[in-house]
Amino acid sequence: MRSITEEKFERLLGLMQKEQVDVLIVSDTEMTRDVNLQYLSGHPMDGNLVITSSGETALFPWDLALAKAESEVDEIIDSANYNHNTSLAFKAYVEEHIKKTNKTVGVFSYFPFSSVVRIEELIPGLKFHREPIKFSRFVEDLRATKSMREIELLRKAAQIGTDTIQDIKKFLLNATDETEKDLDFHVLNKMSKRGAEDLAFPTLVGNGNRAHMLHCHPSASNEKLAAPGLGVIDFGAKYKGYHSDITVPFSFGELSPDQLKMHELTFKAHDAAIEMLEVGVPLWKVHQTAQDILTNGGFPMPHSLGHGLGLTVHDSPFLSRKPTDEFSLKYWKETTLEDGMVFTIEPGVYRLGLGGHRLENDVAVVNGKIEILTKSEFVQV
């Protein structure tokens, strides 16, 4: 079943008509992934979707059985009937459905240049619309607000994560010689058994020696967890294509006054951000409120406060600063909180010698109400 609602699908057709695009291709392959395939067709991966400007949809899947089970399209086309050549199958479809001589095809940003060249050669009179970014941004905006079905799936992904926080807590409280990698495997194992189809992203485990680095490299090492200082574990579950994203801060041993301050500032910034969430609030203001608390406390945050969650782990909207330079402001647009948005709140502070401290929870706006989907906490050992 496709995730996009009828109303949003009509808006996409409206853009096609406005841009005079006759056919839109949505392509997801091993080499170039695009979750818009799942969003617009329900088919989870590996295939091409074609949408005509009058709203007809056809799927050219790699796995026919999967397409029959999961997709919601007018037609499923077996490329075996075209010598297993998707381009030939596409040519036949276009010639049957678009009777004009000059045809325009729209694609999304990451559509491969080699396919553009091949298809333009194959189909005389066909040209590619030269603003793929416009289509990508438009659908990203559509995806920024979720339907009730999508929110259900995001709640489930969040629940798997929240349940796993308790495993992490137990693991940390009993850690002696266990390493970051051991916790990494433990989390993978627990989430998998709870029904996660995959990790949302490689779990990041940084002990007190490593957590001052934003993106610990490697994401989990053979160092012992039980190092003094502030550490973090940042993890999430993928459930039927939808993602959660949680950070649990932890510490081993007594906190120094500076470390205690890092902890208090982070929780204060987190709570202040949650407190001001309501439909209509500009998202940059939520970021700025958290940032001001941390900066005024002497620990400025080196990243944005949060990001959307959905079919990717970095969907729209983004909770980040309002740009100050003229060049960036020209392309910037204020986003306000809307019903159906699902996103992270994740203030964090980092300092070499002290460690890193970040509290991250997932939040949804459902029928105008703020719903905190996850329950992260500070684990002090």
Interacting residues with a second copy (CB under 8 A): 31-33, 83, 107-118, 128, 130-133, 136, 181, 185, 188-189, 192-193, 197, 218, 222, 327
Nearer to a second copy, 300 or 323 (CB): 323
Tell me whether residue 188 or residue 372 sits nearer to a second copy (CB atom).
188
Query: Least CB distance from residue 98 to a second copy, whole Å?
Result: 20
Comparing CB distances to a second copy, the nearer of 34 and 346 is: 34
Minimum CB separation of residue 298 from a second copy in Å reads 25
- Shortest approach of a second copy to residue 184 CB, angstroms? 9
Residue 197 or 258: the one with the smaller Cβ distance to a second copy is 197
Backbone angles phi, psi at 4, to 5 degrees: -65, 140
User: Quick one: which of 175, 143, 113, 98 has its CA closest to 243?
Assistant: 143
Shortest reach from residue 93's CB to a second copy, in Å: 20
CB of 358 to a second copy, least distance (A): 21
Question: Which of 29, 24, 50, 27 shows the shortest CA–CA distance to 37?
Answer: 27
Return the number of the residue (107 or 168) whose C-beta is nearest a second copy.
107
The one-letter code for the residue type at 302 is P
Q: Rounded to 5 degrees, what angle do the CA atoms 250, 315, 331 make?
A: 115
**What's the alpha-carbon Rg for the chain, to the nearest Å?**
23
Q: Nearer to a second copy by C-beta: 101 or 222?
A: 222
As measured in angstroms, the least distance from the Cβ of 226 to a second copy is 19
φ, ψ dihedrals at 183, nearest 5°: -65, -40
C-beta separation of 276 from 285 below 8 A: yes
Q: How far is the CB of 90 from a second copy (least distance, A)?
A: 16
Question: Could you tell me the CA-to-CA distances from 2 to 22, 40, 106, 154, 309 in Å, in that order?
Answer: 21, 6, 20, 15, 17
Q: Give 24 or 255: the residue with its C-beta nearer to a second copy.
A: 24
Contact 72, 96 (CB under 8 A): no
Question: Do residues 35 and 29 lie in contact, with contact meaning Cβ atoms separated by under 8 Å?
Answer: no
Q: Which of 196, 212, 213, 216 is nearest to 204 (CA)?
A: 216
What's the distance, Cα to Cα, between the start and end of the chain in Å? 45
